[in-house]
Amino acid sequence: MPKVNKVAHIVLAVKDVMASVKFYTEVLGMEAVDLKENHKAAFLSFGTQHHDVAVFEAPDGAERGQIGLNHFAMQIEGGILELKEMHQRLLDHGVTITHTTDHIITKSVYFLDPDGNQLEVFAEGFEVPSEGLNFIRQGTYHVKLLELEVPAAS
């Protein structure tokens, strides 16, 4: 069975991305490693991994419950094979999977807990954490669908 080995980052829905970036950089000493041009999202790091906190702009008129935690992420031991096993385990338990994403820095499965909180389980996309950090600093970060079909046993 795949084993989760840590909570890796948090993503927050916020009213004002730039105010949040200012807070996390000035108050907590984080680095804004990737700030989207439209200022609707930013990724922040404490300096050892590609990101520790991300902030995404909440929709206009968002109420409490829409402002706050977007999801929390858990890193699995191993790579894509273990992620496929975890994906299948979630399906076997009837868990709602919201989407799968290849972030390049991570390969991710997003799903809901019983209260509708979104969680992410992922495998690292780079062997060495500093490689992921250097990649996201380049500003070329993008996402695509991650296919996780597990071949049927023969």
Digit-coded pLDDT (tens) for 76-130: 888 999 999 999 989 999 999 999 999 999 999 999 887 788 999 999 999 898 9
Q: 83 lies in a domain?
A: yes
Residue 33 counted as domain residue: yes
Number of domains the chain contains: 1
The pTM for the full model equals 0.73
Contact 70, 9 (CB under 8 A): no
Q: What residue numbers bound the domain in which 14 lies? A: 4-145
Identify the pLDDT of residue 150: 58
152 located within any domain = no
Encoded amino acid at 8, one letter: A
**Is residue 41 included in any domain, yes or no?**
yes
Give tens-digit pLDDT for 13-26: 998 999 999 989 99
> 65 pLDDT exceeds 80?
no
Q: What is the DSSP string of 2-57?
A: --EEEEEEEEEEES-HHHHHHIIIIIT--EEEEE-TTSSEEEEE-SSSS-SEEEEE
- Three-state DSSP at 126 gives coil
DSSP 102: E
What is the CATH number for 64?
Answer: 3.10.180.10
In a domain, 154, yes or no: no
